[in-house]
Structure 1
Amino acid sequence: MTQETARPRRRWMLGVVALVAVLLVAAGAVVAGRLLSRSTPAPGPVAGPATPTPSASAPAPATASPTPPPGADLTGPLNFLIVGVDTRVTVPGWEPHADAVLVMHVEAGLKRAYLFSLPRDLVVDIPAYPKAGYPGGRTKLTHAMSYGSRVPGDKAHPSTAQGYELLRTTVSRYTGLRIDAGAVLTFFGFDRLVDALGGVDLYVDQRVASIHRRPDGQYRPHTAGGYIGPQMVYEKGNQHLNGWQARDYARQRYIAGGDYARQRHQQQLIRALIRKILDQGLARDPDRVEQVVRTLGKTMVYTGGGRRLVDFAYALGGMPADGLVLVGLPGDAVGKGGAYRGEQLRPVGRQFLAELRAGRAEEFLKAHPTLRVRS
């Protein structure tokens, strides 16, 4: 591979790393970049290549306007919605639930991005969605995916794409951010992704006992009294996790810190996966990337509002690898009497969203450093 072709491929990769979370999005962009490079000459320097001085006896040839790179008109700010979905396809009539809801906001200029989670039980106003026969209501955020996925007359085949559409609208109205693109990844797709990358190295910041898995990876039996049997335990410290372990660790919320600790662990896992992709140099191994994509199959849904994945990848190509800032938004339980209704963000969390929209996120985080999530 020549230096000229290696450079744009590296840009595809950096763009996707910035686009983040789901590495399959990263893989898809690299593959798209490779296919594009087969049919389109690699772009030259921004100023354009030097041209020889025309001779006095020959007229200067007409020069065609340079073709702008993909996504050249994307200057930011940009917002991406990343969703982890519990499909439980083996359970008849089960509707997909949004088990993890993450938003990445890229600042104007595309040099810094902020990744934050919204609680799955956040109480929000979900708008009416006639396509699924949903009249609208105020309930938990996770249900937006479920209600939107309903296909009238076909309970056996819910639509994840529809569910994402209603969830995207709900998140956009709550945060005040326009969602430009996003991805939905199933549990099984996440397992395959991590395994295809050879596992992930992660600092576990607290002891976590799994309610779902045994130490050998098998599911724990569930009875009327709850889960029983030996538990998989993730001890505090540096750990190497395979696919099911990474997903299982990031799922646990019945731990110290509850769902907010789970959100932190999910964000830390995303950053660890980004580091994994950079360390392995996948941009220099397109055959390996294509293998990852084939492994994932149909376990991801990508939506870009009419934009190609390549457009976003190339536009974000100049973002430094350390330009991703993790943010934890604190919240509290809400309800009437002793009945739990869901979660709400504390005033500092809602204020962060307002400052983010106004382009003042970095200044706000300097004044509220506890919102930054550390590895």
Structure 2
Amino acid sequence: MVGSGGILVTGQALVARYTGSIEAGSGSLIGDPAAGASRGDSDIRGPLNILLAGIDPRDDTQAPRSDSIIVAHVPAGMDQAYLFSIPRDLYVRIPPFAQTGFAGTTAKVNSAMSYGSEIGDGRHDVAQGFQLLARTVSGVTGIHTFDAGAIINFGGFKKIVEAMGGVTMTIDQNVRSEHLQPNGKPRPKRPECLNGGCDHPYTGPQKVYKVGTHHLRAWEALDYVRQRYGLPNGDYDRQRHQQQFIKAMAQQAMSRDVVTDPTRLLAVLDAAGDSLTFDGGGDSVLDWGLALKGINTEDMTMVRLPGGGLYENGRYLGEQLDPSTGEFFQAVREDRIAEFLLDHPNYVSTAS
């Protein structure tokens, strides 16, 4: 949607042709509107909060986990966007969920989608799981309801990057791949780890992503933003890389190489239909694209939330956010992030 301003110049009918496969369908992601909330058709006005969850490809017999959780805040002026990540290992209160009979618990936030997804007979509904994730993130941030939500299938995201011909990214630190060899093939597992139980089960040569600006192939980009082991700040570094990836993808989608090439543009839209599940609170992807067309990719600010490990009697429970994030979340709710960041420049992710 961030890149839609450029894509829409090719014609609304072209975009409308492909939005059907991106809709949430029969399952709502963000649940019913809050009591008293009202919004006319295509009346999308800021400030807005959009919840994005990235998951690995799985069938409905496997419980989904949201390994990437990002909130996009669009101020009332509808001319810029702020992105901040919720750490996947954040130790939080996951509320009860009547649809599955879940009583609630305290656990890592990325398990919320799993607890909310069960539909019986060993099957899982990702859209239903997203509802519990949204409620959990609401509890963390104080954002009462989200205006839109999207599930991003990483496998499908790879298809989007392939359709765009790769993506150019600035890599801000040397990163070694836990999963892939230099040729892109999976690293073999150590024999003693074939049945699980190992923190670092892989062996052999590793793909290395070096500092600098590089044009990454689809498999390289996706592999790069999945890495957290071996990084100085672990998942916090990975969150920053994922935000950088989103911005780079938006810039690539709006480049002349894409928007002026009908064949490539159609391939990108086809891939988007395979990778995104979207709920716009009653408004279509096209409506949202039109509403957000004033946002330039250069006006996307990446926000880093400070935090660290949470331990109990020496046992690691997960991550906890710095107390100052309470002030940040209040600024989000009151639509004054710009003022907050002026007073707290350490919250701005400076790497681009």
Q: Give the TM-score category using the shorter length.
A: 0.7 to 0.9
Following superposition, the deviation at residue 335 of structure 1 comes to 2.0
Q: Is 1:328 equivalent to 2:304 in the alignment?
A: yes
**Counterpart amino acid of residue 77 in structure 1:** P
Residue 298 of structure 1 aligns to a residue in which SS? helix
Deviations 1:34-56 (A, max 9, x none): 25889xxxxxxxxxxxxxxxxxx
Runs (4+) of structure 1 exceeding 6 A deviation are: 29-32
> For 1:295-334, what aligned pairs fall within 5 Å after superposition?
295-334=271-310
Distance in 2 (CA, whole Å) between partners of 1:295 and 1:325 is: 26
Q: Is 1:75 equivalent to 2:45 in the alignment?
A: yes
Q: Is 1:227 equivalent to 2:202 in the alignment?
A: yes
Aligned to 1:179: 146
Please say if residues 34 and 286 of structure 1, whose CA atoms lie closer than 8 Å, have aligned partners that are also in contact. Answer: no
Please say if residues 70 and 314 of structure 1, whose CA atoms lie closer than 8 Å, have aligned partners that are also in contact. Answer: no
Aligned counterpart for 1:34 among listed residues 13, 20, 27: 13
> For 1:131-146, what aligned pairs fall within 5 Å after superposition?
131-146=99-114
Change (3 A) 1:307 1:138: same
Q: Is 1:193 equivalent to 2:160 in the alignment?
A: yes
Distance in 2 (CA, whole Å) between partners of 1:248 and 1:241 is: 10
> For 1:1-375, what aligned pairs fall within 5 Å after superposition?
16-17=1-2, 33-35=12-14, 71=42, 73-89=43-59, 93-153=61-121, 155=122, 157-177=123-143, 178-223=145-190, 224=193, 226-254=201-229, 255-280=231-256, 282-374=258-350, 375=352
Please say if residues 18 and 113 of structure 1, whose CA atoms lie closer than 8 Å, have aligned partners that are also in contact. Answer: no
Please say if residues 308 and 320 of structure 2, whose CA atoms lie closer than 8 Å, have aligned partners that are also in contact. Answer: yes
**Counterpart amino acid of residue 81 in structure 1:** L
Aligned to 2:22: none
Please say if residues 88 and 109 of structure 2, whose CA atoms lie closer than 8 Å, have aligned partners that are also in contact. Answer: yes
Deviations 1:50-86 (A, max 9, x none): xxxxxxxxxxxxxxxxxxx973x32211111111102
**Counterpart amino acid of residue 33 in structure 1:** Q
Distance in 2 (CA, whole Å) between partners of 1:37 and 1:245 is: 31
Change (3 A) 1:282 1:19: closer
**Higher CA-based Rg:** 1
Following superposition, the deviation at residue 32 of structure 1 comes to 8.5
Following superposition, the deviation at residue 202 of structure 1 comes to 0.7
Deviations 1:248-288 (A, max 9, x none): 11011111111000000001111111111122364444553
Residue 67 of structure 2 aligns to a residue in which SS? strand
Change (3 A) 1:87 1:350: farther
Structure 1 runs not aligned, ≥5 long? 1-15, 21-25, 39-68
Aligned to 1:3: none
TM-score by length of 2: 0.83
Distance in 1 (CA, whole Å) between partners of 2:77 and 2:51 is: 19
Residue 79 of structure 1 aligns to a residue in which SS? strand
Distance in 1 (CA, whole Å) between partners of 2:10 and 2:101 is: 38
Aligned to 2:20: none
Deviations 1:100-136 (A, max 9, x none): 0000011112122211000001112212122223221
Distance in 2 (CA, whole Å) between partners of 1:134 and 1:251 is: 30
Residue 103 of structure 1 aligns to a residue in which SS? strand
Change (3 A) 1:32 1:344: farther
Distance in 2 (CA, whole Å) between partners of 1:310 and 1:37 is: 6
Deviations 1:288-338 (A, max 9, x none): 333223235533211122221122211122233322111000111112022
**Counterpart amino acid of residue 287 in structure 2:** D
Identity in percent:
42
TM-score by length of 1: 0.79
Deviations 1:218-262 (A, max 9, x none): 111223252111111101111111111111110111111110000
Please say if residues 91 and 109 of structure 2, whose CA atoms lie closer than 8 Å, have aligned partners that are also in contact. Answer: yes
Residue 274 of structure 2 aligns to a residue in which SS? coil
**Counterpart amino acid of residue 140 in structure 2:** Y
